[in-house]
Structure 1
Amino acid sequence: MNKYLDKMGYGIGTRLVEDFLAQSSVRRCHSYSEVTHIIAEVAFKMYLGVTPSVTCNNSSRNEFSLILDKNPLSEFVEELPAGRSSLCYCNLLCGIIRGALEMVHLAADVTFLQDKLKGDSVTEIGITFLKQPEEKKYRRKK
């Protein structure tokens, strides 16, 4: 079920990125830190009405965590169903983020790290960018 939620989210993310780019006035990002802050401060606010905090998890600045104090996906869920303790509703969000990033040519591994529904203090989504961005310099032909 978790893989299916991720797959559904991926499909949503690949379509949602077009709407996001059309409706937001974001400019080109020059670092993974900028990308992650745009996801947290613009995209989450625009589509879910919440703004997660962002932390960087390593010195190479390619691993980040989005920490949600309030998770709209689990707002109406009291507890996980019996026998479904491994279910992660937020895998939908992971798929959305991964799909949207892929559509703008950023390969990333997006995983669900902590869940308030499972007794953790916060809901945390981890984003690890998989390759360094290529600086493309275009020259005008004369």
Structure 2
Amino acid sequence: MSSTPSTSGHSKSLRLAGEDIWKNKTEKVNGELFTLMYGAIVSQLCKDYQRCFPKVNDQLYTMGYNIGVRLIEDFLARTALPRCENMVRTSEVISKCAFKIFLNITPQVANWSADKIAFSLVLVENPLSDFVELPMDAMKQLWYSNVLCGVLKGALEMVQLDCDVWFISDVLKGDPQTEIRVKLNKVLKDEIPIGED
């Protein structure tokens, strides 16, 4: 499917905005330190939950969700982007701008559903999993970078998009690529809190 000139222009401007914010407006943390800190968190969760990996996955997702709920405000303040009119635009903002700003990577958007409400983010590189090799007992059940799914879920919910976000595959588990699936369930209505008009 070829993109129209306006779609191509939007995509290029998002990529440029993401790169500019990453280069000029983002305080950097040493990548290796970040990766090691995340690894220590996952390792501690594995100990705390006595290697019950589904519980570790849930905890990582919850942690990510709480991060995403707060991170979206920072993202919107930095980019001043308008509300996305559809999931195609949402996927571009996530892949070309959000991932670039916060992790300095640009996942590929792929595997669209026929109705254009579900897509995949293919991570060619994943800074969370640098230097990581999963033990044999963790390979079947642990989604090591599940925090990313939680971040996306929380951030999307804050912009009124109720989505399911989950891992399809991970190179740490021996899969050929790392793929996150995002599926829109519904657009949430803007609700005014009780007592406010």
Shift of residue 116, structure 1, vs aligned partner: 0.4
Q: Distance in 2 between matches of 1:82 and 1:131?
A: 38
What is the TM-score when the length of structure 1 is the normalising length?
0.89
Aligned 8 A contact 2:160 2:187 in 1: no
Match of 1:12 in 2: 67
Shift of residue 26, structure 1, vs aligned partner: 1.7
Task: Give the counterpart of 1:58 among 102, 113, 119.
Answer: 113
Q: Distance in 2 between matches of 1:92 and 1:49?
A: 16
Partner of 2:167: helix, strand, or coil? strand
Instruction: Identify, as 1 or 2, the structure richer in helix.
Output: 2
Match of 2:154 in 1: 99
Match for 1:84: what amino acid? A
Percentage identity across paired residues of the two chains:
47
Instruction: State how 1:55-134 maps to structure 2 within 5 Å.
Output: 55-77=110-132, 79-85=133-139, 86-131=141-186
Shift of residue 91, structure 1, vs aligned partner: 0.9
Q: Distance in 1 between matches of 2:115 and 2:187?
A: 10
Task: Give the counterpart of 1:32 among 87, 99, 102.
Answer: 87
Shift of residue 76, structure 1, vs aligned partner: 2.0
Structure 1: which 5+ residue stretches go unaligned? Answer: 135-142
Q: Distance in 2 between matches of 1:28 and 1:132?
A: 12
What is the TM-score when the length of structure 2 is the normalising length?
0.65
Shift of residue 81, structure 1, vs aligned partner: 2.5
Structure 2: which 5+ residue stretches go unaligned? Answer: 1-55, 190-197
